[in-house]
């Protein structure tokens, strides 16, 4: 598949801009952590002491008191259970005193209660506290990693306790989301190996567990780092395992986001979509009543067609054009834009792909994209039809004229966007060439009657200098071909 370098750069600049923002913007990180904290606070119904009526001074006093007990003696089971429960409740407060807890030595004291030989009830509390601490200031997460908690938490997955594993999954997501370096540490750990073993032995997975792991996988994939084939296989296996049991919209959205990010990163992972039998699910999402979900599904299919002609052949077998008919007519401009972008990747394939497109009803219906109210949709539609001239044959281009594309081109020439007009002029150039090649003199006459000729002259004076030059050349070609005939 061949694209102009400009076409590739335009699309990549959009993708890279979004990815860069997600990786580096501290506000986005803090927003994610706030949402995560809200989920942590409410993640399980649990009896707890009432901390709402305590003043800050009283809370700090209790923290110092409990820390002193941990530092000067070896408490009995009931005492340590009560202390850990109290620390957990403090960490679940809306304005949790994280820095006070850390300064009191909680990170150091918890090391004795995050080993596999610790009673499960105490491990539930200690891992919950650690999980909550990572939703606080970044410096706390760094201290936890420095003190070996990444390995400690991952090792606890082997206990096969749902509550502890859930805490670990949230912990991993918070750690990975904090920075590129932390995410690399997660990717280099045994987390994926152990979490896959845990889920391979699970007959039933709770919705909350699914939600947390999808969120964590999403955070990791969003960092745009190199994900090994082994790790990608773990993620694909999980997505395949849950594909038929998720029934909440946010889970569908997360499932697709992960798949989209993996598809963006590596052609082998696009092949995994086929091998894991996930393509049918993606097509079903095209009809989902959610803009976010529909756009994600479109993007995955468009990315597959962007990378390899093999995928275009496969998606044609899946009747992709039938499935996209309603998308290009969607009232949502985001859906229309993504649909036209995906289809433009199809017409940038082989001549056979162009031929399949032009003989399908979607070709004529898609002309409306050239006069869409949204400029981004118009630009993607202009790429779609200019590709037909580049990759198709003269008969394909003449079929566009027979389906009355000239009326739409006359209206489209009123637009002033440089990228758009350049593609419209490209379409007209191929119409002229094809009409001359096939001795279709009537097409030049129709070009005038539909108002295209006048619109092209008008566009020559309102366009940027470099576009005006293109238009001037088009008018010269018109005179050349028409007079020749």
Residue-range domains of the chain with CATH: 22-178 (1.25.10.10)
Q: CA 214 to CA 314: how far, in whole Å?
A: 28
Q: Note the pLDDT tens digit of each residue in 94-135.
A: 889 999 999 999 999 999 999 999 999 999 999 999 999 999
Residue 430: is it exposed, middle or buried by C-beta count within 10 angstroms (0-12/13-18/19+)? buried
- CA gap 80, 86 in Å, rounded: 10
Q: Are 330 and 363 in contact (CB under 8 A)?
A: no
pLDDT, position 34: 57
Is the pLDDT reported for residue 22 higher than 70? Answer: no
CA–CA gap between residue 349 and residue 360 (Å, rounded): 16
The helix or strand, by DSSP H or E, that contains position 69, with its residue range, turns out to be helix 56-72
Q: Tens of pLDDT along 344-376?
A: 999 999 999 999 999 999 999 999 999 999 999
Read off the pLDDT of each residue in 393-413 and give the average, rounded to a whole number.
95
Return the residue matching tokens 């110092």: 64
Distance (Å, rounded) from C-alpha 459 to C-alpha 15?
A: 31
> Residue for token digits 């009283």?
58
Q: Which residues of 56-95 are buried (b: 16+ CB within 10 A; e: fewer)?
A: eeebbebbeebbebbeeeeeeeeebeebbbbbbbbbbeee
Whats the size of the chain, residue-wise? 485
């Amino acid at each position: 598949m061949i694209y102009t370098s400009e076409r590739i750069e335009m699309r990549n600049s959009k993708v890279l801009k979004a990815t860069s923002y997600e990786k580096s913007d501290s506000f986005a990180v803090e927003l994610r952590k706030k949402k995560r904290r809200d989920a942590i606070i409410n993640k399980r119904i649990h009896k707890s002491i009432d901390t709402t009526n305590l003043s800050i001074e009283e809370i700090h006093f209790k923290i110092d008191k409990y820390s002193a007990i941990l530092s000067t003696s070896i408490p009995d089971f009931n005492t340590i259970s009560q202390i850990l429960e109290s620390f957990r409740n403090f960490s679940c407060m809306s304005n949790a005193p994280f820095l006070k807890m850390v300064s009191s030595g909680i990170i150091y004291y918890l090391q004795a209660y995050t080993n596999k030989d610790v009673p499960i009830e105490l491990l539930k509390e200690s891992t919950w506290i650690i999980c909550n601490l990572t939703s606080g200031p970044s410096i706390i997460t760094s201290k936890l990693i420095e003190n070996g908690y990444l390995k400690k938490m991952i090792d606890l997955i082997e206990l096969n306790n749902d509550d502890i594993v859930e805490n670990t999954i949230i912990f991993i997501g918070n750690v990975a989301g904090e920075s590129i370096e932390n995410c690399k540490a997660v990717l280099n750990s045994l987390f994926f190996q152990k979490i896959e073993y845990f889920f391979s032995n699970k007959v039933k997975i709770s919705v909350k567990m699914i939600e947390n792991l999808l969120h964590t996988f999403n955070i990791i994939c969003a960092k745009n780092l190199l994900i090994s084939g082994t790790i990608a296989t773990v993620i694909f296996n999980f997505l395949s395992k849950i594909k038929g049991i998720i029934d909440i919209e946010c889970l569908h959205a997360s499932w697709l986001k992960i798949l989209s990010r993996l598809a963006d990163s590596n052609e082998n992972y696009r092949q995994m979509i086929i091998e894991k039998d996930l393509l049918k699910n993606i097509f079903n999402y095209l009809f989902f009543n959610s803009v976010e979900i529909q756009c994600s599904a479109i993007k995955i299919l468009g990315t597959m067609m962007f990378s390899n002609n093999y995928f275009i052949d496969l998606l044609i077998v899946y009747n992709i054009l039938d499935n996209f008919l309603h998308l290009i007519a969607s009232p949502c401009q985001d859906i229309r834009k993504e649909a036209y972008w995906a289809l433009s990747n199809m017409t940038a394939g082989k001549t056979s792909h162009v031929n399949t497109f032009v003989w399908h009803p979607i070709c004529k219906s898609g002309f409306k994209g050239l006069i869409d109210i949204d400029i981004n949709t118009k630009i993607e539609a202009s790429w779609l039809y200019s590709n037909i001239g580049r990759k198709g044959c003269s008969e394909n281009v003449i079929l566009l004229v027979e389906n009355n594309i000239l009326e739409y081109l006359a209206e489209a020439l009123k637009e002033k966007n440089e990228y758009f007009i350049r593609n419209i002029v490209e379409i007209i150039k191929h119409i002229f060439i094809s009409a001359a090649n096939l001795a279709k003199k009537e097409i030049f006459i129709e070009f005038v009657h539909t108002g295209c000729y006048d619109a092209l002259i008008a566009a020559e004076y309102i366009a940027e200098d470099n576009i005006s030059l293109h238009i001037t050349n088009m008018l010269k070609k018109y005179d050349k071909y028409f007079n020749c005939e």
